[in-house]
Amino acid sequence: MKHNDPIRVFVGADRSQQLAVPVLEYSIKRHTTAHVEVIPMLDLPVPVPQDPRNGQRTGFSFSRFCIPKLAGYKGRAIYLDADMLVFSDIRELWNIPFDGAKVIIQQEVKFEEQTTAKVGAPKKRKKQCAVMLLDCERLDWDIDGIVAGMDRGAYDYEQLMYDMCVLREDEIKYGVPFEWNSLEHWDPTTRLLHYTDVYTQPWTAVGNPLGYLWFDEVRRMMNEGVLDAATLQKEIDLGYFRPSLMRDIQWAHRVPKLFRGLWDRRNAAADRLAGYVPHKDVYEAKRARQKAIADYEAAQKLKLGSTTQGVGS
Q: Give the whole-angstrom CA distance, residue 149 versus residue 19.
A: 33
**pLDDT tens digit sequence for 57-105:** 888 999 999 999 999 999 999 999 999 999 999 999 999 999 999 999 9
Assigned domain for 254 exists:
no
Q: Provide the mean pLDDT of the chain.
A: 91
Q: Given this model, what pLDDT does residue 114 score?
A: 63
- DSSP string of 57-117, one letter each residue: SSTTTTGGGGHHHHTTT-SEEEEEESSEEE-S-THHHHT---TT-SEEEE-----HHHHTT
Mean pLDDT across 47-51: 94
Residue 111 has pLDDT above 70, yes or no: no
Q: Give the whole-angstrom CA distance, residue 235 versus residue 101.
A: 40
Assigned domain for 91 exists:
yes
Assigned domain for 107 exists:
yes
Per mean pLDDT, which range of 50-64, 106-120, 292-306 is the poorest? 106-120
Q: What are phi and psi of 67, to 5 degrees?
A: -60, -50
Q: Give the whole-angstrom CA distance, residue 226 versus residue 22.
A: 9
Contact in structure between 160 and 166 (CB atoms under 8 Å): yes
Q: In which element (H, E) is residue 292 found? A: helix 280-312
**pLDDT tens digit sequence for 164-180:** 999 999 999 999 999 99
Assigned domain for 286 exists:
no
Per mean pLDDT, which range of 56-60, 249-253, 280-284 is the poorest? 280-284
- Give me the CATH number covering residue 195: 3.90.550.10
Assigned domain for 264 exists:
no
Identity (one letter) of the amino acid at 40?
A: P
Residue 272 has pLDDT above 60, yes or no: yes
Q: Given this model, what pLDDT does residue 284 score?
A: 83
Q: Give the whole-angstrom CA distance, residue 18 versus residue 14.
A: 6
Q: Given this model, what pLDDT does residue 58 score?
A: 87
Measured CA angle at 88 (ends 18, 225), to 5 deg: 50
**pLDDT tens digit sequence for 199-218:** 899 999 999 999 999 999 99
Q: Given this model, what pLDDT does residue 223 score?
A: 97
Mean pLDDT across 120-132: 67
Contact in structure between 208 and 200 (CB atoms under 8 Å): yes
Residue 112 has pLDDT above 90, yes or no: no
Residue 285 has pLDDT above 70, yes or no: yes
What is the residue range of 136's domain?
7-203+212-228
Mean pLDDT across 128-143: 94
Q: Measuring CA to CA, which residue among 4, 234, 191 is closest to residue 92?
A: 191
> What percent of the chain is predicted at pLDDT more than 90?
76
Mean pLDDT across 239-253: 96
Distance of CA 32 to the CA centre of its chain: 22
Q: Given this model, what pLDDT does residue 125 score?
A: 45
Assigned domain for 96 exists:
yes
Assigned domain for 287 exists:
no
Overall number of domains in the chain: 1
Cβ-proximal residues to 50 (8 Å cutoff; 6+ apart), any chain? 151
User: Which is more confidently placed, 285 or 249?
Assistant: 249
Q: Give the whole-angstrom CA distance, residue 174 versus residue 124.
A: 19
> What percent of the chain is predicted at pLDDT more than 70?
90
Mean pLDDT across 240-250: 97
